[in-house]
Amino acid sequence: MKVRGYLVAISLVTVITSCGGGEPKGDNATIQEKQEASDVQGTQFAVDTTASRVKFTGYGVGKNHPGKFKVSSGTVAVANDKVTGGSFTIDIKSLDLEQKGGMFDSKLRPHLMSGDFFDAEKFGTAKFDITGVQPYSHNGSDTSVVNGANFTVSGNLTLKDVTKNISFPARIDLDGNTLKAKSNFVIDRTQWQMRYGNDKTLGDKFIGEKVDIELDLEAKK
């Protein structure tokens, strides 16, 4: 009986491990109330929607579910080699889960699209409006997970008709006619009225409030 119990325990650990899990690894974004958008000045760069994406990872007990959205449109303004403003729109209905087949297609994706999460039929897009870009300060207690982070970006994120201002480190590279931006940060989904499963009494059905967001943005003059 002891051997059988040991084998069952090993199998359970293997299943949990194979499903991933853990905690978000991105930078902790600062979340505040909506701020005034920055005064857009300079040259307009059009977001390359084929080269840009917004990836997310949600976390539960012993599992995680990564997915990505397409960026449907956007512009970034640049003056004196610095970003002065801009905005981009995210197509919520474009949600593409990395995990394919079975319950991921038949249950998980429809559930994420429902009112429990994104409510895609009612709120088909999300938007990010830049409110400020400042040099990123590196020090021992504030080191970004983004290699080469050089700016702190602030902007209004509107999701499900709720707007909050978030700030996070990013790497922004400007090379002639092309601008590239990369970031990896964590937000609290409940700030945007997505509270489903956020109750620890649910046991292994608990879904964490923290979500990892990875942004890859490319824009061209």
Per the structure, the complete domain to which residue 182 belongs is given by 22-220
Q: Summarize pLDDT for 64-108 with one digit per residue, the tens.
A: 889 999 999 999 999 999 999 999 999 999 999 988 888 888 899
Asked whether the beta carbons of 183 and 215 are under 8 A apart, the reply is yes
Residue 158 located in a structural domain: yes
Q: Is residue 46 part of a domain?
A: yes
The CATH code of the domain that includes 188 is 2.40.128.110
Does residue 2 lie in a domain region? Answer: no
Give a yes or no: residue 8 inside a domain: no
Number of domains in the chain: 1
Q: What is the pLDDT of residues 108-119, one digit of tens each?
A: 999 999 999 999
Is residue 3 situated within a structural domain? no
Would the pTM of this model clear 0.95, i.e. be above it? no
CA distance 63 to 43: 44
Say if 7 falls within a structural domain. Answer: no
| Positive/negative CA dihedral, 145, 76, 191, 99 | negative
Question: pLDDT by residue (tens digit) across 202-221?
Answer: 666 668 889 999 999 999 99
Contact indicator for 20, 64 with CB cutoff of 8 Å: yes
- Residue 111: phi, psi to the nearest 5? -65, -45
Q: Are strands 27-28 and 178-188 parallel, antiparallel or unpaired?
A: parallel
Q: Is residue 95 part of a domain?
A: yes
Q: Say if 13 falls within a structural domain.
A: no
